[in-house]
Amino acid sequence: MKYKYRVVGLDCANCANKIEAKLNACDKIEKASVNFSKETINVVSGNNNIKELVQDIVNSVEPDAKVLDKDETLNNKIKNDIFMVSLGIFLSIIQMFIKNNVVALIIIVLAYAILLYKVLIKAVKLLPKGVIDENLLISISCIGAFLTNNIHEGLMVIVLYDIGKILESIAVNNSRTSIAGLMDLKAEYANVLIDGEYQRVSPEKVKVGDIIRVLQGEKIPLDGIVTKGTAKLDVKSLTGESRLLDVTKDSIVLSGSICSNGMIEVKVTSLYENSTVAKILKLVETAEDRKAKTETFVSKAARIYTPTVLVLAILTVILLPTIFKLSFADSIYRALTFLVISCPCAIAISVPLSYFSGLGRASKDGILIKGSDYLDLLGNVKEIIFDKTGTITTGEFNDYELTILDNNCKRDDIINLIVAGEKLSNHPIAKSLCSLFNNFKGNKHVKDFKEINGMGIEYNLDNKHIKIGNHKFCNVTKKDNAIYINVDEVNVAKIILYDGIKKETKDVINLLKKLNINTKIFTGDSLEYAAIVSKEIGVNEVYAELLPTDKYKLLEEEINKYDNKVAFVGDGINDAPSLARANIGISLGGVGSDSAIEAADMIIMNDDLRKIITGIDISRYTSHIIKENLIFALGTKLLVLILSILGIASMWQAVFADTGVTLLTILNTVRILKRKDK
């Protein structure tokens, strides 16, 4: 069974990584993932009532953290922390004006106790369990400063540390709120027609076939078809498209869209769990559970980082008096400063938060990426392979040429044969044929219908065996991109469909070339037609007349050639094997398509190829921010560390190297969400 919990009071990404490791080490848990950025824990276990076990494991790393069910709430932790820090600061100021040394000492000890209490208690609780983290480092530093008569510096360390942690919590919560706002798709209710009246019910309770009404300003709660009314829909949250979408009777509408103007009645076509908005939210919820190599490395390194720092601090106390002939008190002070500097919060928080922000930013632009590992890889892709029909061309065939090859057959009879079979297929070409011949109903008495992937369809009708498909399927020696119609193994007609190239395709190919990304076309169409398309858009290499299995084999060769950095772009239906095999499968127009969502790693919510460039830009910018944060954090810590060993930097600078750097890296990460589209 799958369980999902909220975890409150988890202030450190390093602790989240430790909790995840312990959960996965538990024999009662099959799989677990902890998402610090979203404050969630996902657990797969065959046991019931797993919450108590999860709580115990969480508390073994973070004693103050609480594991909650979805709807549980806690009092505002940040307000309580602010009150305690304010009280500690107030007592610290008061003691400066007291002349009685004993009273002043009592007040300063009380201030220490108030400010250091939570940090020290955490450190003490975790120590018997073999967990050594930044709480212990700060506790040792502050107590050590007090005992070495650096009372005010120790006090300032804990004050600034506590303030820094509060600011970190506020910054992280603001980031979470910003990203949650990007994906605020779900409608709280649906206006359902029941016994002649519209009643508000939960979207989860609406059935297929129910009629719902959507008023101006409301979100569409479920996928459906408009039965009455007209409206302009805001679909920006779904597709990233700012232009309003006009809908009228018989228009297909998707859940998550907002009715900006007008009123419509909609016949529901899918249950909530199968709706577009449910699929999107599920993708967003699980995306961060797939971690990039950088994030994984930081998580592993953080587990051994703090104990290593503690050992180095002890060596500092021992070696400095010998090497530099310092007093024992001075070497202790510098070791304590070293401990403060070395807290890993900046790195542990900024890396996962950067990826989380990148995924959120992509979602805002109508791009769903299934994990930070794919976001990371997208910016390093060396080659992108495109399917042709429906990907670089519109896939909407608005013109055709029908040739009758058997004089005994009439044109209308041939068209009826085509429509009779093709209306049973979900292939884009089948839909185009039915659209072109929408005045023909076809015969309803089709039997033994079969669809052969990448070839065509066959069926029996009126005691005749019909085959409709490419030249190979219909045993035609001439290689072209025509669709042939066979009746009892005799070629009776052929039809050539014409679709246009998407207007943005050529610009996208040119931009990919400027980014040093190679492009190719894999298509099942004839080489002649594919060559014309590739020449027009500027793609140098094209492979035509391919079956899905042929595409798969060629794709494997490209993956080996380009060091596992190949993306495949397809329509998400017929190209599912290639989408799944590619290092990054990119599905266009996949909204509402189960095969697209399951097979692809990146889903573009409309057919706009320019979103590929947007995704690459977000990926590279996210990587840029991560590198900035790592260089800044490690560089600052190293500089202050050297200065502290030399006796130049004090604990004041050490606190900046810890909490100050952490806060700055979080604020720098927010730039990902604020970045404007190019």
The rounded distance, in Å, linking the Cα atoms of 404 and 674 is 59
Fold classified for 399-498: Calcium-transporting ATPase, cytoplasmic domain N (3.40.1110)
What pLDDT score does 173 carry? 66
The rounded distance, in Å, linking the Cα atoms of 49 and 604 is 39
The rounded distance, in Å, linking the Cα atoms of 563 and 573 is 26
Query: Where are the strands (E) in 280-398, listed by range?
Result: 367-369, 383-386
- CB distance 395 to 389 below 8 Å: yes
Distance, CA of 547 to chain centre: 32
Query: Where are the strands (E) in 372-510, listed by range?
Result: 383-386, 399-404, 447-452, 456-461, 464-469, 483-487, 490-498
The rounded distance, in Å, linking the Cα atoms of 70 and 59 is 19
Q: How many residues are given for the chain?
A: 678
- Looking at the DSSP assignment, which residues form a beta bridge with residue 659? none
What's the DSSP call for residue 262? E
Query: For residue 275, what are the CA distances in angstroms to 136, 215, 259, 497?
Result: 49, 20, 17, 32
- CB distance 640 to 341 below 8 Å: yes
- Neighbouring C-beta atoms of residue 93, cutoff 10 Å: 11
Given 3.40.50.1000, 3.30.9.10, 3.40.50.2300, 3.20.20.70, which CATH number is that of 355-392+501-615? Answer: 3.40.50.1000
677 is catalytic: no
What pLDDT score does 455 carry? 86
Phi, psi of 386 (to 5 degrees): -110, 135
Torsion angle in degrees (nearest 10) through CA of 294, 295, 297, 299:
160
- CB distance 370 to 286 below 8 Å: yes
Query: For residue 218, what are the CA distances in angstroms to 152, 179, 234?
Result: 57, 21, 10
What pLDDT score does 592 carry? 43
- Residues 6 or more apart whose Cβ sits within 8 Å of residue 219: 185, 186, 187, 255, 256, 257, 258, 259
What's the DSSP call for residue 227? E
What's the DSSP call for residue 365? T
pLDDT in tens, 358-406: 888 888 888 888 888 889 999 999 999 998 877 888 767 777 889 999 9
How many percent of the chain have pLDDT more than 70? 87
CA neighbor of 280 nearest in space, from 605, 61, 27 = 605
- CB distance 588 to 634 below 8 Å: no
Specify the residue for token string 């002939």. 325
- CB distance 453 to 548 below 8 Å: yes
Catalytic residue among 223, 365, 376, 387: 387
Q: In 3-state terms, what secondary structure has residue 6?
A: strand
Amino acid at 298: V
CA 624, 626, 629, 632 dihedral sign is negative
Q: Identify the architecture of domain 2-74 in CATH.
A: 2-Layer Sandwich (3.30)
- Neighbouring C-beta atoms of residue 69, cutoff 10 Å: 10
The rounded distance, in Å, linking the Cα atoms of 186 and 38 is 17
Tokens of 249: 């009777």
The rounded distance, in Å, linking the Cα atoms of 152 and 145 is 8
The rounded distance, in Å, linking the Cα atoms of 600 and 547 is 19
The rounded distance, in Å, linking the Cα atoms of 77 and 6 is 15
Count Cβ neighbours within 10 Å for each residue of 235-259 and write b for 16 or more, e otherwise.
Answer: bbbbbbbeeebebeeebebbbbbbb
The segments of the chain whose pLDDT lies below 50 read 592
Torsion angle in degrees (nearest 10) through CA of 14, 20, 25, 30:
-170
Largest CA distance in the chain: 118
- Neighbouring C-beta atoms of residue 5, cutoff 10 Å: 22
Given 1.10.10.10, 3.40.50.9100, 2.70.150.10, 3.10.350.10, which CATH number is that of 207-270? Answer: 2.70.150.10
Strands 490-498 and 483-487: antiparallel
Tokens of 53: 């076990």
The rounded distance, in Å, linking the Cα atoms of 557 and 555 is 5
Torsion angle in degrees (nearest 10) through CA of 307, 310, 312, 318:
-140
Rg of the chain taking only CA atoms, in angstroms: 32
Domain segments of the chain: what residues?
Answer: 2-74, 207-270, 355-392+501-615, 399-498
What pLDDT score does 513 carry? 94
